[in-house]
């Protein structure tokens, strides 16, 4: 896996987007090698003249260590495309972002997510529909993804938070530049119960050209996308188009034929581009999400690495002392102890006193890490 510093470095250079970054990764095998490559080698990797000039001009001016310190001071993490913690759903879309700046936390539970988007000029009907559907989705352990914009987006985030759920906001700026500015308090609440997410480096201003590309991330983080209100040329429609390209499910709430804000959803339903939604259950049933809590518990029982898998193979309903586990597995006691502590937090094992452990779920030891 490439050092995250180099992904950050390339994200700071104009004209180096996901396609060129992937081209460099494929050619050099490592972005660290690409960062140090000569002009001849960069050209051979497929960079056009403008991108090549930008790389050669920017590299001497970028101190990667200082950039990483700046990111850490801002309380931001960088998730890179080839890292295990990069969101699984997003990794498999066309042209995935090669680096994500995250303020807050994206958790495994966020794989069960629905994007909710719509017009910035939401009607009273649109706001109420958004609140009702989002609240019901959240009660079914669904994470809500949107874009922090005025109107439907903000209503979706607030409804998720009010219902005690998780929500992710994908920005068209750096995660340290909140737009619109009146959503600063909402953004902070999202950080506490979800995350702000952007492919743009810290300090990036909300340029109009940044928003259409960010919509593919909104849909890419989600199993399906719902549009509540919007005209035919609304930005929310781009999210639905991205979802269709990503082979994700698309949904729309019908509205009045007399309202301009209903044209987008109504036309999508008419053309078969989105499934008509009257309540949250329509989405849950279509995506088979009626048992998310059980799916999440089953996911938590799966070993995340070879060490967990090894320990599970030696545990059963009969108590085993940590020292015996160390001897049988050949693992250092420190590794056994720390791993068991994490597994206990996840509900995979139980300590029953005297440093003796048992398996917490019958059958867990039969799982394999490669399934």
CA-based nearest residue to 199, from 184, 209, 214, 211: 214
**CA dihedral of 299, 226, 167, 148, whole degrees rounded to 10:** 150
| Residue 201 in tokens | 């480096």
Instruction: Kindly give the interhelix angle for 235-245 and 263-270, rounded to the nearest 10 degrees.
Output: 30
Sheet holding 349-351, edge to edge: 320-321, 356-359, 349-351
Specify the domain boundaries for CATH 1.10.10.10 within the chain: 302-366
Query: Is residue 77 classed as helix, strand or coil in its secondary structure?
Result: strand
Predicted TM-score (pTM) of the model is 0.78
Q: Rounded distance, CA 335 to CA 113, Å?
A: 34
Q: What is the largest CA-CA distance in the chain?
A: 74
> What Å distances lie between residue 152 and 48, 127, 148, 267, CA to CA?
40, 6, 9, 18
Fold of domain 302-366? Arc Repressor Mutant, subunit A (1.10.10)
Residue 66: Cβ-neighbour burial (10 angstroms; 0-12, 13-18, 19+): exposed
What letter would DSSP give residue 202? T
Task: Give the CATH number of domain 108-291.
Answer: 3.40.50.450
CA-based nearest residue to 100, from 89, 114, 112, 116: 89
Q: Rounded distance, CA 271 to CA 150, Å?
A: 27
Specify the domain boundaries for CATH 3.40.50.450 within the chain: 108-291
Specify the domain boundaries for CATH 1.10.150 within the chain: 1-65
CATH class of 1-65: mainly alpha
Question: What pLDDT sits at residue 3?
Answer: 86
Q: Are 314 and 329 in contact (CB under 8 A)?
A: yes
Pairing label, strands 249-252, 224-227: parallel
What letter would DSSP give residue 201? P
The pLDDT tens digits for 326-348 are: 998 999 888 898 888 888 877 78
DSSP string, 21-45: HHHHHHHHSSHHHHHT--HHHHHHT
pLDDT per residue of the chain (371 residues) written in tens, 0 to 9: 568 999 999 999 988 989 999 999 999 999 999 999 999 999 999 999 999 999 999 999 999 999 999 999 999 999 998 888 899 999 989 999 999 999 999 998 999 999 999 999 999 999 999 999 999 999 999 999 999 999 999 999 999 999 999 999 999 999 999 999 999 999 999 999 999 999 999 999 999 999 999 999 999 999 999 999 999 887 888 999 999 999 999 999 999 999 998 999 999 999 999 999 999 999 999 998 876 655 555 555 556 788 888 888 888 878 899 999 999 899 988 889 888 888 887 778 888 878 888 887 544 334 333 33
């Amino acid at each position: 896996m490439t050092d995250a510093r180099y992904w950050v470095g390339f994200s700071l250079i104009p004209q180096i987007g996901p396609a060129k970054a992937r081209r460099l990764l494929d050619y050099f095998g490592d972005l660290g090698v690409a960062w140090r490559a000569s002009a001849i080698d960069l050209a051979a990797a497929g960079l056009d003249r403008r991108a090549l000039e930008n790389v050669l001009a920017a590299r001497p001016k970028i101190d990667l260590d200082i950039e990483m310190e700046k990111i850490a001071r801002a309380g931001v993490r960088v998730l890179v495309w080839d890292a295990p913690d990069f969101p699984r759903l997003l990794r498999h879309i066309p042209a995935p972002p090669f680096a994500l700046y995250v303020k807050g936390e994206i958790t495994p539970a966020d794989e069960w997510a629905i994007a909710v988007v719509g017009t910035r000029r939401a009607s009273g009907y649109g706001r109420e529909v958004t609140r009702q559907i989002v609240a019901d989705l959240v009660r079914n352990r669904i994470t809500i993804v949107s874009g922090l914009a005025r109107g439907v987006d903000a209503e979706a985030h607030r409804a998720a938070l009010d219902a005690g759920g998780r929500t992710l906001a994908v920005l068209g700026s750096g995660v340290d530049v909140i737009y619109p500015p009146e959503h600063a308090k909402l953004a902070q609440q999202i950080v506490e119960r979800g995350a702000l997410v952007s492919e743009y480096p810290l300090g990036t201003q909300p340029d109009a050209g940044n928003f259409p590309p960010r919509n593919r991330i909104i849909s890419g983080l989600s199993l399906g996308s719902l549009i509540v209100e919007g005209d035919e040329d609304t930005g929310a429609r781009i999210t639905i188009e991205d979802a269709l390209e990503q082979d994700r499910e698309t949904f729309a709430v019908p509205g009045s034929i007399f309202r301009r804000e209903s044209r987008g959803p109504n036309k999508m339903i008419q053309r078969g581009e989105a499934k008509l939604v009257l309540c949250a259950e329509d989405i849950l049933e279509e995506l088979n999400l009626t048992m998310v809590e059980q799916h999440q518990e089953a996911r938590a029982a799966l070993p995340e690495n070879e060490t967990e898998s090894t320990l599970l193979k030696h545990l059963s309903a009969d108590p085993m002392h940590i020292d015996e586990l160390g001897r049988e597995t050949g693992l250092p006691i420190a590794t056994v102890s720390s791993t068991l502590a994490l597994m206990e937090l996840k509900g995979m094992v139980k300590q029953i006193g005297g440093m003796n452990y048992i398996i917490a779920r019958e059958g867990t030891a039969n799982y394999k890490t490669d399934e």
